[in-house]
Chains A and B, each alone.
Chain A
Amino acid sequence: MADVKIGNLHKSYGTVEVLKDINLQVEDGAFVVLVGPSGCGKSTLLRSIAGLEPITSGAISIGGRNVSDLAPAQREIAMVFQSYALYPHMNVENNMAFGLKFAGVPKAEIADRVNEAARILQLEPLLKRRPRELSGGQRQRVAIGRAIVRHPKVFLFDEPLSNLDAALRINTRVEIARLHKLLKATIVYVTHDQVEAMTLADKIVVMNKGRVEQVGKPLELYYRPANLFVARFIGSPAMNTLAATLDGKGKAAAVAGVSLPLPAAVSGTGEITIGFRPEHCSIGKTGIPARVELVERLGETGYVHARTADGAALLVEVKGDPGLAQGAEVRVAPAAGHLHLFDGEGVRLAGT
């Protein structure tokens, strides 16, 4: 296994810059998830690490070796594709052995490696089948098996669960986490699903418009998003965000006509954005005034959709049935210690 370092990586198609100054470090044995909306460049970054896309400038090193100009096969990586990319004309065994044959690995060793991967992934009864005779989940396991037999320094996963149905997706997620522990593998994993990111990752890289927005542990991103984009992207349902004005002393912010006290004094004045998660606020006697538009009752929890007089939407998670009707006037109070403040540029205010 090895670490991956990416330094000052740029990539453009003609005049369009798709990756802008990416710097990233993946520690040996870490599970790093690249996450972001579609078109954010996460797949391009993964494909650049794999060597499937040429980079415009910068460097990629794997295990201390600069691989920027090496062909994919020379980088000691293995990739699991979104579509699995199993060779349709070969059976499971040959799919796994195919690359090794071309790498000149002795036959006996190929057989050992294929058998071991088959054992780990419970593919033994399927070795002689063709891909089209397999279910989606089985194909997925073969694709992972094909990566395992290469004994790569780094595993690259490109949205591997997106072609599976919901139930299978959860099982496979658990399976991938198990494999990571078992193989002590370095993994770079791309997904657009933040639940996958939160549950699998040691470290999440949130990307947007070709840039890295924030790198951190899952809960760091949840509790201390570095900017508005991350704040809105991580967490489900998404964080409430409202325009606000700081008072001169930095002790309170005016929101929708009321003054919210701030947990700690912040420097600066003027227009900011405040944010709080639906699960970190409550309906009570004090707080931001709003009118209830819809109440969703899910049983144990419920969601109250409300709107302030300025037209900003608010979502509040409540226990049980709140007993509110449409049109009710309520006040929404963020929980202490769970208020996020962002400056006019959307960057988290210093000291909060």
Chain B
Amino acid sequence: MRKPVSAFAVHAVLALYTALALFPIILVIMNSFKAKRAIFNTPLTPPMPWNFDPIGYSKVFGDSAIATYYMNSITVTVGTIFLTLLFGAMAAWALTEYKFRWNTALAIFLSIGIMVPIRLGSVSIIQLVSDLNLINTLTALILVYVAQNLPLAVFILSEFIQQIPRDLREAGRCDGLSEYNIFFYIILPLLRPAMATVAVFTMIPVWNDLWFPLLLAPTGGKQTITLGVQQFLGQYITDWNAVLAALSTAIIPVLVLYVIFSRQLIRGLTSGAVK
């Protein structure tokens, strides 16, 4: 019998697509370390001693507040993940464990946000944030992102909580734990894998978002790295060394983290993927 799909063809397709996916990223990083002449004349040559020139990086780190923007992004992302997981797990627990009159209605109310993008309410969000005196603060970004990510978090965490055997919660009740302690000492530790999945779903869009930083914290040193790079690129648009270095500065940390955590991340994506 002739094999209908030869292994060679499969690898050829996959390798070609992988090359297509990686090429632009590699090209930018490679050229960011080169002198301007080398960038234009030999763009496909890797950085070598004779064409090496870190001028772009000295501009990026000298002229702008890249470090601050990084800190802002980290603060916003970590804060968002923390609050989304905490509030989401608490709500998911209450919705799955306790009977009360508005249980189903509340679950539906919370799930609306899975499908309806929060951006559509931007007009009023800006009004609200400025009424609360939170314009150009990271707090505003965190609150909006938590609201944006809670529905999916509640949905995923509810599914996981349902899988925790009922006996475990009841053993806790027999052991004399209050409902609060059952949640914090038994349920929360058991939710760790599920929370990793939710963290993955939350982290990427928050870190990469351009819209809300542009609307809510566009100036005053509260820019996130995504917006900061965007503004920097606009400013230095003709300075190729600076542009390439700025792009690389934004890419490399994400790349390093991705390579380290890709296994967990993909597993998180595949396990949490809505059936």
Chain A residues in the interface with B (C-beta under 8 A): 47, 50-52, 71-74, 77-79, 81-89, 98-99, 102-103, 146, 150
Contacts and interface: CB of A to CB of B under 8 A. Distances in A.
- Per DSSP, are chain B's interface residues mostly helix, strand or loop, or mixed? helix
B131 interface: no
Contacts of B165: 83, 85
B170 A85 contact: yes
Top 10 closest pairs, chain A to chain B, by CB = A99-B175, A73-B176, A85-B167, A85-B171, A81-B167, A89-B189, A72-B174, A83-B167, A72-B173, A79-B174
Contact of A89 (B171, B173, B190): B190
Nearest to A53: B170
B128 to A, nearest CB: 40
B190 A85 contact: no
B186 interface: yes
B177 interface: yes
Contacts of A84: 167
Given A83-B167, A87-B168, A52 B175 contact: no
B216 to A, nearest CB: 39
B173 A71 contact: yes
A309 to B, nearest CB: 51
A78 B171 CA distance: 9
Interface string B175-202: 1110001000110011000000000000
A101 to B, nearest CB: 9
A236 B168 CA distance: 35
A73 B175 contact: yes
Contact of B174 (A50, A82, A83): A50
24 contacts: A50-B174, A71-B173, A72-B170, A72-B174, A72-B176, A73-B174, A73-B175, A74-B176, A77-B174, A78-B174, A79-B174, A81-B170, A82-B167, A85-B167, A85-B168, A85-B171, A87-B168, A87-B171, A88-B190, A89-B190, A99-B174, A102-B175, A102-B176, A146-B171
A73 B190 contact: no
Nearest to B189: A89
Nearest to B186: A87
A283 B273 CA distance: 66
A99 B168 contact: no
Nearest to A104: B176
A276 B189 CA distance: 56
Nearest to A73: B176
Max chain B Cβ within 10 angstroms of own Cβ: one of A52, A85, A88, A150:
A85
Contacts of A98: 175, 185
Contacts of A51: 173
A50 B181 CA distance: 19
Contacts of B170: 47, 50, 52, 72, 79, 81, 85
A236 B248 CA distance: 77
A52 B185 CA distance: 19
A99 B176 contact: yes
A84 B167 CA distance: 8
Contacts of B171: 79, 81, 85-87, 146
A86 B174 CA distance: 12
Contacts of A88: 190
A322 B174 CA distance: 55
A198 B203 CA distance: 59
A103 B175 CA distance: 8
B173 A52 contact: yes
Contacts of A103: 176
Contacts of B167: 81-85
Contacts of B177: 73, 99, 102
A89 B185 CA distance: 10
Contacts of B185: 98
Interface in B32-60: none
A105 to B, nearest CB: 10
